């Protein structure tokens, strides 16, 4: 446990790794094991299942269009321009698709981009923590992120928010590096701003630039000419990289550029200024579970540093990620229609703050986290295994179906040798890793991360066929395809972006959206119905010829109509 020491200056001082980790001779083996753990967390679930709604399917649909046409300037979704997010993430996915498909299916190859972005997020966070707090702390934020509940599934989805988080991590590293190397730090900050902008608009540029502007106001560490130079270099790097795509879009289509400019408005990030209803506590009320264990660890850091220990609150390791976390939190709270997946970037600075005082946790607190994790993940793993065995032998029971909100009982998961070996291997590894051994605060964080990897591995191996049957649109799309004559014009109504993307992919069916003023002369109409619309009367002048839905899903249905002869 770290020894409390009197307050020191705000300048970060290197921490001798030997004073924190006594197992010096085995450090190389431990580093390799941690790398393998992170790679396992990243790799499991990337391939082996169809695109799932919402963000995964939508982003894949755009990437699929880019891979077919080679056009990254005007992203298309199911044949229509799509400008709801930047082109960077689908462009990266289109590159992995063209590179690795075949042998992989296009959607599996595209999802490899998720792995690349996760590597960037973890490495950027680790480097930032190392710059601020010393080499001994480089692994702690990585383990916190891997163990974060909010990262559990959302970080494995092909989404613009993943690029947003990667840009924030690189920008945070740039700000940390700038304390030692202002020029290089400015370049990294500029790259982070550009990556964030090209992923999802103005969010990351606003967060990073606001943080860079606030830092000199709260700490003399950044009240220097070097910080001004870093800021200037970042702007010089970010502006041309960020502006390249909007300029190319304007040259290609002034109308599309005008539509993008109108949609990507600064008011979208400040709901009160836009005069729109919003929920200012949406993020705050979800943060306690979403940011576990980063949030309680961050509060512990603030408690210890607020009492003047270990450099106090003026330490750069607290100020930089702390200011960034506050900026992101305030911005997310002001957004219109916030989504939980959009909160992922906030976990990066929270993990850095939480990493600082892990070693000073009271033994009772770290022990509670450790035993709570072992109990939680042990019971959860037993439940997952028990439900799978029972479903495999007897079919899914009514009680299990109700637990999963499944409308169909009797599902029997398939047996795949690779999935069974991976699930058994991870279960045995977890048992070996969390067995009673030398306890430490860092070991508690590691055990929690391993537990999260265990559950993610079980869900992404033995339970993957079940999840795919619930979330994939392959079956319903292929059934729809048999009802539509080749070359037929099909209009659509209320069809979501994810559904449009997957019908285009699985059924080669690109519908003409009524919402876009198209398809008035089509002989067929495809309508998506929500739960409250199942009993709605058929549209006048149309005759239903097919109805379909995903297995076990009673939240949506699809109806194909043919124009009546009268």
Cβ-contact 121, 163 below 8 angstroms: no
* Residue 42 CB neighbours (<10 A): 21
H helices of 335-416, in order, are: 344-355, 363-394, 398-403
* Residue 516 CB neighbours (<10 A): 10
Q: What is the pLDDT of residue 415?
A: 87
Q: What is the pLDDT of residue 161?
A: 95
Q: What is the pLDDT of residue 91?
A: 97
CA dist 479 and 456 (Å) reads 31
In the sheet with 512-513, reading across from the earlier edge strand, the strands are 512-513, 490-493, 524-530, 556-563, 542-548
Q: What is the pLDDT of residue 552?
A: 72
Can you list the pairs that 306-310 forms with residues at least 24 positions away whose Cβ atoms lie under 8 Å?
A: 308/6, 308/7, 309/4, 309/5, 309/6, 309/7, 309/360, 310/2, 310/4, 310/5, 310/7, 310/8, 310/356, 310/357, 310/360
* Residue 136 CB neighbours (<10 A): 19
530 by Cβ neighbours in 10 Å (0-12 / 13-18 / 19+) ranks as exposed
Cβ-contact 464, 419 below 8 angstroms: yes
- The closest of 529, 121, 95 to 348, measured between CA atoms, is 121
- The closest of 400, 306, 392, 355 to 147, measured between CA atoms, is 355
Cβ-contact 388, 374 below 8 angstroms: no
CA dist 327 and 257 (Å) reads 29
Inter-CA distances, 251 with 63, 199, 246, Å: 22, 20, 9
Q: Domain residue spans in the chain?
A: 49-360, 363-471, 474-563
266 by Cβ neighbours in 10 Å (0-12 / 13-18 / 19+) ranks as exposed
Give mean pLDDT in consecutive 10-residue pieces for the chain, a chain of 566 residues.
41 43 64 91 92 92 93 92 93 96 94 97 97 93 96 94 97 97 97 96 94 94 94 96 95 92 74 66 93 95 90 92 96 86 96 94 84 90 92 86 78 87 93 73 91 94 90 92 90 92 93 88 91 82 90 84 82
Structure tokens given for 522: 């089509």
Q: What is the pLDDT of residue 18?
A: 46
Residue where the block lists tokens 């990066």: 348
* Residue 116 CB neighbours (<10 A): 16
CA dist 516 and 530 (Å) reads 20
Q: What is the pLDDT of residue 272?
A: 66
Q: What is the pLDDT of residue 25?
A: 56
Q: What is the pLDDT of residue 532?
A: 81
Angle at which helices 55-69 and 88-100 cross, to 10°: 60
Q: What is the pLDDT of residue 277?
A: 58
Phi and psi for 332 in degrees, rounded to 5? -65, -35
What's the per-residue H, E or C state across 317-328? HHHHHHHHHHHH
């Amino acid at each position: 446990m770290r020894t409390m020491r009197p307050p020191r200056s705000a300048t970060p001082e290197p921490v001798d790794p030997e004073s924190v980790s006594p197992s010096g001779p085995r450090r190389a083996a431990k580093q390799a094991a941690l790398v393998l753990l992170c790679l396992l967390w990243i790799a499991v679930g990337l391939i082996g299942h169809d695109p799932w709604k919402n963000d995964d399917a939508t982003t894949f649909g755009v990437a699929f269009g880019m891979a077919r046409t080679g056009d990254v300037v005007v992203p298309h979704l199911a044949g229509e321009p799509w400008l709801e997010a930047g082109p960077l993430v689908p462009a990266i996915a289109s590159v992995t698709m063209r590179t690795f498909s075949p042998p992989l299916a296009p959607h599996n190859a595209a999802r490899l981009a998720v792995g690349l972005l996760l590597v960037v997020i973890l490495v950027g966070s680790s480097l930032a923590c190392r710059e601020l707090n010393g080499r001994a702390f480089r692994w702690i934020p990585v383990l916190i992120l891997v163990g974060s509940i909010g990262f559990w599934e959302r970080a494995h989805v092909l989404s613009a928010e993943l690029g947003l988080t990667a840009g924030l991590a690189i920008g945070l590293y740039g700000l940390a590096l700038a304390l030692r190397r202002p020029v290089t730090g400015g370049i990294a900050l500029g790259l982070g701003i550009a990556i964030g902008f090209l992923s999802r608009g103005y969010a990351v540029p606003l967060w990073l630039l606001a943080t860079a502007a606030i830092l000199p106001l709260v700490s003399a560490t950044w009240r220097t000419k070097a910080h001004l130079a870093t800021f200037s270099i970042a702007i010089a790097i970010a502006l041309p990289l960020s502006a390249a795509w909007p300029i190319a879009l304007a040259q290609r289509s002034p109308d599309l550029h005008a539509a993008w400019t109108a949609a990507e408005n600064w008011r979208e990030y400040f709901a009160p200024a836009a005069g729109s209803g919003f929920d200012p506590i949406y993020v705050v009320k979800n943060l306690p579970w979403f940011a576990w264990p980063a949030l309680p660890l961050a509060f512990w850091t603030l408690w210890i540093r607020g009492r003047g220990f270990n450099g106090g609150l003026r330490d750069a390791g607290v100020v930089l990620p702390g200011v960034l976390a506050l900026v992101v939190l305030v911005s997310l709270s002001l957004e219109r229609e916030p989504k939980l997946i959009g909160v992922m970037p906030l976990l990066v600075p929270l993990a850095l703050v939480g990493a600082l005082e892990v070693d000073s946790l009271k033994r009772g607190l770290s022990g509670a986290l450790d035993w709570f994790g072992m109990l939680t993940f042990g019971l959860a793993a037993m439940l997952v295994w028990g439900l799978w065995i029972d479903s495999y032998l007897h079919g899914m029971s009514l009680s299990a179906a109700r637990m999963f909100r499944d409308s169909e009982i009797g599902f029997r998961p398939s047996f795949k040798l690779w999935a069974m070996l991976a699930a058994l291997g991870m279960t045995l590894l977890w048992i070996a890793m969390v067995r009673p051994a030398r306890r430490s605060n860092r070991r508690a964080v590691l055990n929690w991360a391993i537990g999260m990897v265990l559950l993610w591995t079980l869900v992404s191996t033995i339970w993957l066929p079940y999840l795919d049957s619930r979330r994939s649109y392959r079956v319903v799309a292929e059934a729809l395809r048999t009802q539509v004559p080749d070359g037929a014009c099909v209009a659509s109504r209320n069809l979501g972006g994810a559904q449009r993307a997957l019908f285009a992919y699985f059924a080669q069916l690109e519908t003409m959206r009524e919402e876009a003023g198209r398809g008035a002369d089509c002989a067929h109409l495809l309508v998506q119905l929500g739960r409250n619309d199942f009993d709605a009367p058929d549209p006048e002048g149309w005759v239903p010829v097919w109805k379909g839905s995903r297995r076990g899903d009673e939240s949506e249905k699809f109806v194909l109509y043919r124009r009546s002869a009268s």
